[in-house]
């Protein structure tokens, strides 16, 4: 479809073409023509090349109790640290990082935690402490040029604000590690999924079922959850890249979610956005 062809379209045709692309049909004929031209002048391949090259999925698992004491008396420590890497252009998982972490404050896992996560006491006993796992994870990211100021275009994805805003912040605080720059920017796939399907955001199993996919592995296994989140993301990419506007909508959802989340976190708070005290007690672990 060329610009010359669009210039010849009557208003009715412009409206039809815009509706196909889920674009606004408001405005006069001149505005509609301009809007349509802006959304048909590049291929899906070109859009992909201008967007994120990689998406890195993270889903931490942490120590937990069935009936925990108040948060000020019980610190949850990360015990599983997975990263699943998606190549956006190839639309597939291309690499993974995975390690268990040995907790220090509460070294003995509760029966509830072991049943929920399927992580054994032996696995955490033989695992490195978080500081070492964190260093290994950053080395892994660096080797794939996925750290700030490197050339790759990437974004982290999770399915809950708790992963970064609660568990990673809390763990960095108790381990005396500076909260990493790469963890300042991420997207919640539940929110993106909800916007895409105009529905309430669901849990991993619900999103998989809506996409016609089966759950692989076990829920609350960090690596299994990260892989299933990656499968959801890949399916969303496939569906939204069926046309150029779809991929733009995916990009726009990521940007809109990030902006709205920052606004939500900063509203009414005296602390900076990335302060470790930011509503930790109110975060929900999915």
User: Which has the closest alpha carbon to 103: 85, 84, 87, 127?
Assistant: 127
CA atoms of 125 and 101, how far apart (whole Å):
8
17, 61, 80, 235: which one is catalytic? 61
CA quadruple 211, 217, 222, 223: dihedral, nearest 10: -90
106 among known catalytic residues? no
46 among known catalytic residues? no
Residue 192 in contact with residue 254, Cβ under 8 Å?
yes
Report, in angstroms and rounded to the nearest whole number, the Rg of the chain calculated over CA atoms.
22
17, 77, 220, 235: which one is catalytic? 220
Pairing of strands 154-158, 186-188: parallel
Cβ neighbours for 44, distance < 8 A, ≥ 6 positions apart:
241, 243, 244, 247
Catalytically annotated residues: 61, 220
């Amino acid at each position: 479809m060329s610009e010359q062809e669009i210039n010849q379209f009557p208003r009715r045709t412009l409206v039809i073409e815009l509706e196909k692309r889920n674009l606004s049909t408001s405005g006069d004929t001149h505005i509609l023509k301009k809007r349509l031209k802006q959304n048909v002048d590049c291929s899906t391949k070109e859009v992909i090349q201008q967007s994120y090259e990689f998406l890195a999925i993270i889903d931490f698992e942490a120590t937990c109790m069935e009936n925990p004491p108040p948060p000020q008396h019980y610190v949850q420590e990360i015990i599983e640290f997975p990263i699943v890497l998606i190549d956006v252009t190839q639309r597939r998982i291309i690499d993974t990082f995975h390690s268990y972490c040995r907790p220090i404050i509460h070294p003995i896992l509760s029966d509830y935690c072991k049943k929920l996560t399927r992580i054994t006491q032996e696995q955490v006993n033989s695992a490195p402490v978080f500081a070492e796992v964190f260093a290994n994870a950053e080395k892994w990211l660096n080797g794939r040029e996925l750290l700030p100021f490197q050339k790759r275009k990437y974004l982290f994805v999770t399915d809950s604000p708790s992963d970064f805003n609660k568990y990673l912040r809390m763990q960095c605080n108790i381990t005396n590690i500076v909260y990493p720059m790469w963890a300042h920017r991420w997207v919640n796939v539940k929110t993106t999924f909800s916007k895409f399907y105009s529905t309430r955001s669901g849990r991993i199993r619900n999103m998989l079922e809506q996409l016609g996919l089966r759950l692989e592995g076990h829920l609350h296994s960090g690596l299994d959850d990260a892989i299933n989140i990656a499968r959801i993301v890949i399916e969303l990419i496939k569906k939204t890249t069926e046309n150029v506007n779809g991929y733009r909508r995916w990009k726009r959802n990521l940007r809109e979610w990030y902006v709205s989340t920052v606004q939500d976190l900063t509203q009414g708070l005296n602390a900076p956005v990335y302060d470790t005290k930011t509503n930790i007690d109110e975060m929900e672990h999915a």
